[in-house]
Structure 1
Amino acid sequence: MDVFFAVFFFALSSTITPGPNNIMMMSSGVNYGVRASLAHLCGICLGFPAMVLLVGLGFGLIFTTLPWLHTVIKVIGVVYLLWLAWKIAGSGAGQIDTVQNKPLNFWQAAAFQWVNAKAWVMASGAIAAFTTVGGAVLSEVLQITAAFLLVSFPCVGAWLTFGAMLRRVLNQPHYRQWFNYSMALLLLLSVLPVVYELWLQAVAA
């Protein structure tokens, strides 16, 4: 259990901090409420640990062999987040559920992890930092996955709950519109580091 306790606080701090998943979760809480957003929550909280497990078991070797594929996924992720930010910002002031026709379902939220830049940083960083060369890699990867699984529901769920609480406060149309503007801006800010990295890659090519 040495690896589990070592990675636990890393998992906790990285999962509770703002990022695309948490921003989208809070926005879903505001626009749809807790019950309607539960599938979205489960998709994140189960999808990301599954991603950690697959990366730890060697899935990342595919991107080492085919680095261009990783770049393509990053571009897709940036485009998707830009589209999502535009949809959020464009939500009508008098409508509280127009970010999408309905919240993300389980599979959409789980699949989103693979185009989420922060998820890649967290997964690859945890595997690199908390596994040992020549060690019991499978056991270590399972413990890392378990740590993220343990913290995901309370951490991401806190953002959903906070969003649902804001839903009660944002009962004036213009407040809801400014909230959606703020969420769109935060999503754009979360994309900037990835855009900068892609730009550096293009310049170096």
Structure 2
Amino acid sequence: MTVSLLVSMSLFALAASLSPGPVNILSLSGSARYGLKVGLVFVTGATFGFIALFLFIGFSLHYLNLVLPWITQAIQWLGICFLIYLSYQLFMDNGELQVNNNGHAPSFITGTVMQWLNPKAWLASMSGISAYIPQTKPNEVLVFAGIYLPICWLSLAIWVGVGIVVGQYFQSHQKMRFMNKTLALLLAGSCFMLLV
């Protein structure tokens, strides 16, 4: 692999990871409400979930499309339904700050599972692999995943940092409820944009 290809893969990973999407929005919302530790646990789960998905797609993309051509659309619809459900939960949240109660806080497992149901993650994986390693050689898939891992985690951690800053401003439950409703609408809107 050439240096220019590695740099190009890195820039793709950065753009795909840092751009707004369902996981980014929940990283911001969760950290604003529950703090840094919860936010970082969630993004760590989301990062490992994404890398597992990326490797799965990288090692099976060609075969998956040949044997099950409908799978991509089915996963997209399942993911959109899940994200709409999360949007509803966020929209209905009462906005009460419960820093010491992490019962409903986004967890490592939530982050991991969410990536497998996230249409943006599937599209980023498939388009990145198809564009940069069309032959899907195992060693190239591993290199790309190795590039993606730290970039994905750091990009999501930036959203956590933004959430911490935003959380400082939204200290009343009225302001938190407003932020949650706004983020819920953005999350739902991101689902509809995937359909266009």
Which TM-score applies when normalising by structure 2? 0.88
Contact 1:20-1:187 at 8 Å conserved across structures: yes
* Structure 1 CA distance for aligned equivalents of residues 89 and 33 of structure 2: 13
* Structure 2 CA distance for aligned equivalents of residues 193 and 67 of structure 1: 22
Distance 1:157 1:175, change over 3 A: same
Query: What is the CA-CA distance between 1:173 and the residue it aligns to?
Result: 2.4
Query: Taking every aligned residue pair, what percent have the same amino acid on both sides?
Result: 24
Residue of structure 2 equivalent to 1:13: 15
* Structure 2 CA distance for aligned equivalents of residues 137 and 104 of structure 1: 35
Letter matched to residue 74 of structure 1: Q
Contact 2:36-2:160 at 8 Å conserved across structures: yes
* Structure 2 CA distance for aligned equivalents of residues 174 and 131 of structure 1: 48
* Structure 1 CA distance for aligned equivalents of residues 69 and 97 of structure 2: 41
Contact 2:58-2:141 at 8 Å conserved across structures: yes
Residue of structure 1 equivalent to 2:153: 153
Query: What pairs with 1:34-53 in structure 2 (closer than 5 Å)?
Result: 34-53=36-55
Distance 1:63 1:108, change over 3 A: farther
> In the TM superposition, what whole-angstrom CA distance separates every residue of 1:149-205 from its partner, at most 9, and x where no partner exists?
120121100001110121111112221111011100110111003344xxxxxxxxx
Residue of structure 2 equivalent to 1:29: 31
Which TM-score applies when normalising by structure 1? 0.85
Letter matched to residue 8 of structure 1: S
Contact 1:36-1:103 at 8 Å conserved across structures: yes
> In the TM superposition, what whole-angstrom CA distance separates every residue of 1:110-162 from its partner, at most 9, and x where no partner exists?
122121111011100110111144xx812211121111112012110000111
DSSP 3-state at the match of 1:67: coil
DSSP 3-state at the match of 1:104: coil
DSSP 3-state at the match of 2:126: helix
Contact 1:126-1:144 at 8 Å conserved across structures: no
Residue of structure 1 equivalent to 2:94: 92
DSSP 3-state at the match of 2:51: helix
Letter matched to residue 31 of structure 1: R
Query: What is the CA-CA distance between 1:30 and the residue it aligns to?
Result: 1.1
* Structure 1 CA distance for aligned equivalents of residues 194 and 172 of structure 2: 35
* Structure 2 CA distance for aligned equivalents of residues 58 and 18 of structure 1: 27
Distance 1:108 1:132, change over 3 A: same
Residue of structure 1 equivalent to 2:181: 181
Listed as ranges, the gaps of 5+ residues in structure 2 are: none
Contact 1:57-1:138 at 8 Å conserved across structures: yes
Aligned length: 192
RMSD: 2.1
Listed as ranges, the gaps of 5+ residues in structure 1 are: 197-205
Distance 1:67 1:103, change over 3 A: farther
DSSP 3-state at the match of 1:7: helix
* Structure 1 CA distance for aligned equivalents of residues 174 and 36 of structure 2: 22
Letter matched to residue 36 of structure 2: V
Q: Which is further off, 46-55 or 13-22? A: 46-55
* Structure 1 CA distance for aligned equivalents of residues 22 and 162 of structure 2: 16
DSSP 3-state at the match of 2:25: helix
Query: What is the CA-CA distance between 1:85 and the residue it aligns to?
Result: 0.8
* Structure 1 CA distance for aligned equivalents of residues 79 and 174 of structure 2: 30
DSSP 3-state at the match of 1:53: helix
